[in-house]
Structure 1
Amino acid sequence: MLKAQYNARGPVPEASIEAVSFEKPVLDSGQVLIEVLAAPINPSDVLTLTGEYGMLPPLPAVGGNEGVGRVVEQGAGVDAPAVGQTVLLPVGCGTWASHVVASAGELVPLPNDADPQQLAMMTVNPPTASLLLSEFVDLAAGDWVIQNAANSGVGGYLIQLARLRGYKTVNVVRRESAVAAVEAEGADVVLVDGDDLRQRVLEATGGEMPRLAIDAVGGAATDRIAACLGEGGILVNYGAMSREPCQIAPLNLVFKDIQVKGFWLARWFQQASAEQKMKVFGEVAGLIAAGKLHARVAASFSLEQIKEAVAAAAAGEREGKVMVVPNRS
């Protein structure tokens, strides 16, 4: 059995992490042993390795915050989930491992016949996209939503969910080479970021101004996307890919009454009821199993290749998610 462990944090995310062996754990009552099928590497995972994320586990730690696996052994007193059942791994349990132990009662069963790599990405990015669309503005069919970082994992899910709900999307990317992949997701409009973004958005929407803007970049990009909103619009920031603070001019903040809010999925998980969580996960799992929601996979790596995997995830100009597939034959 292997796990991707790190004992320190630093500016080069792949430097401290490595695959180490461990003995098969002894199960306590109520626990199950799970063979990990797939686990993604998210931007938050990279920031955790560099020490820049908002919530850091004590060291030493095993990487990975989400994934899916298959139950291979039950402890005493466990009737379900059954051996062979695909399950969603608990958030933050160290999913970059060949096997994990979890309490049976906290596991969410998933369709056994769905693509495990697609299911593995359902804990973080799809709920983020879904909640960004529902928690801040009461949108109606035909409304426009604008987002930057549209070629990101969240961006792709947001495009698909918006289309399923009847919304139209303006999608901003930072390079021309990303346009085609975003269009293939079903985007209504794709534009490369720039100083004249507002003018081009108005031309593309026929003069309609979105009431909701989703920002994952920060820096000056925040103000450019804010300028595209109508009066009283809401801008939600959930990331800082530029590594710069969000900037917004008084013209937008004061005179257009734009509201700026933040969203962190970890906080939502802390505050949401079990019913709210199951509603979101149920929607996402159903759409993935039905083939209506997907994410691009750029590459998949074994646990022995964890350094290469983290380096690939941290690199720029990548189309799709980097996956860890621990038990690939």
Structure 2
Amino acid sequence: MKVKNLVLQYEEFGDPLERLALHEMEITPLQPNEVLVKMIASPINPSDLIPIRGSYSHRISLPFIAGYEGVGVIVDVGKNTSASLIGKRALPLRGEGTWQQFVKSPSEFVIQVPDSFSNDVASQLYINPLTAWIICSEYLALKPGDTLLMNAGGSAIARFFTQLSNILGFSILLVIRNEIHRNELYELGAWKVFNSSTANINEAVMDVTGGKGVDVSIDSVGGESGELLAKCLKQNGRYLSLGLLSGIQVDWEKINKEFGIPPDLFSLRRWNQLASTSRWHQKFTEIIDLILKENIKLAKINGKYKFKDFKHALHHTQIPGNKGKVLLTHDLNDIRQQ
């Protein structure tokens, strides 16, 4: 009896609603150092959707299974992997795409989940927490007195940066486009929140920084929104490109010419390639510890959809001012056997 695996895959770049499709595939045998994880829940992040639209087509070979994070239960292991892992909840990372019912992952990169974590929390432990924590504590080494300006202030990762500002002592200024986010961001610890539809961001930033500008700008949007952040930097300030929500690259030549700012792009994928296995696990230990101590709270879930209802889930993520995460979920009844 073979278990069939349903996967969400795209064969061409474009609108995720049009390009993503369910495919039924056989599960190939595990390599000696792999584990097989039966997925429980996977969030829909902007970083999951941007590649489907083709922004990173240079490094994606089609067809491609979507999804970068999620939580599940280990149901099988390769011959060189301890059978004691079977039955453990885990994050199957740095292997196959996670938008499928069964995910294979190298055992050395599997992150086990504390029993006290709900599946909602566990499913979100990778992309935003690891990225923000590495950037703040290591890549930028932010410290008390530093000022950080970030666009896409209503995003889940901006909320994570905001909470980290309380822990590391830096001040964060956030740019939003929807007032629905303002009060929550202040409650999380933001120093200043600016609405780009009603305020001149450069003037507002210069006003609160006494005309000096900020130490660091982090762009998650790209295009003109990203270029605006460069204008808000102090002399010799640092500009970091993190995301591409607009799908439009910033004009690096223009930024370098007008502001003397060299290109600086943080890539979690690149960091993963350079980090040792022990360092990888240490960073997760630090993140998990922060959450266990309730110093950090992850996004609330405001929508859960069965895996086969992925189009409804994608529509939900496009609701203006959407707060919280949308999850793709699985249960045992989804498994087809023949």
TM-score, reference length from structure 2: 0.84
Stretch moving more, 25-34 or 101-110: 25-34
Contact 1:5 1:18 in 2 (8 A): yes
The 3-state SS of whatever aligns with 1:118 is helix
Matched, 1:89 2:89: no
* CA drift at 1:166: 1.1
Matched, 1:188 2:191: yes
1-side partners of 2:109 and 2:140: how far apart?
A: 32
Considering Cα pairs closer than 8 Å and 6+ residues apart, tell me whether 1 or 2 has the greater RCO.
Answer: 1
Partner of 2:74: 71
Partner of 1:56: 60
The 3-state SS of whatever aligns with 2:232 is coil
* CA drift at 1:223: 3.0
1:71-97, CA deviations, whole angstroms, 9 ceiling, x for partnerless residues?
A: 234454542553332212122512122
Partner of 1:150: 153
2-side partners of 1:304 and 1:34: how far apart?
A: 18
- Output aligned runs, 1:148-297, within 5 Å: 148-193=151-196, 196-205=200-209, 209-247=213-251, 253=256, 257-293=260-296, 294-297=298-301
Stretch moving more, 304-313 or 72-81: 72-81
Structure 2 CA distance for partners of 1:259 and 1:12, relative to 1, 3 Å: closer
Stretch moving more, 35-44 or 319-328: 319-328
* CA drift at 1:122: 2.1
1:42-74, CA deviations, whole angstroms, 9 ceiling, x for partnerless residues?
A: 223212323332532431x33211112122344
Between the aligned residues of both structures, percent identity stands at 26
Structure 2 CA distance for partners of 1:104 and 1:258, relative to 1, 3 Å: closer
Partner of 2:305: 301
Contact 1:2 1:22 in 2 (8 A): yes
Please, what is the CA RMSD of the aligned residues? 2.9
Whichever structure has more helix as a proportion of its residues is: 2
Contact 1:149 1:155 in 2 (8 A): yes
* CA drift at 1:220: 2.0
Contact 1:215 1:236 in 2 (8 A): yes
Stretch moving more, 288-297 or 264-273: 288-297
Contact 1:86 1:109 in 2 (8 A): yes
Stretch moving more, 49-58 or 217-226: 49-58
Structure 2 counterpart of 1:47, which letter?
I
Structure 2: runs of 5+ lacking an equivalent:
334-338
1-side partners of 2:275 and 2:110: how far apart?
A: 17
Structure 2 CA distance for partners of 1:259 and 1:32, relative to 1, 3 Å: closer
Partner of 2:327: 323
1-side partners of 2:279 and 2:117: how far apart?
A: 23
* CA drift at 1:175: 2.5
Stretch moving more, 107-116 or 76-85: 76-85
Structure 1: runs of 5+ lacking an equivalent:
none
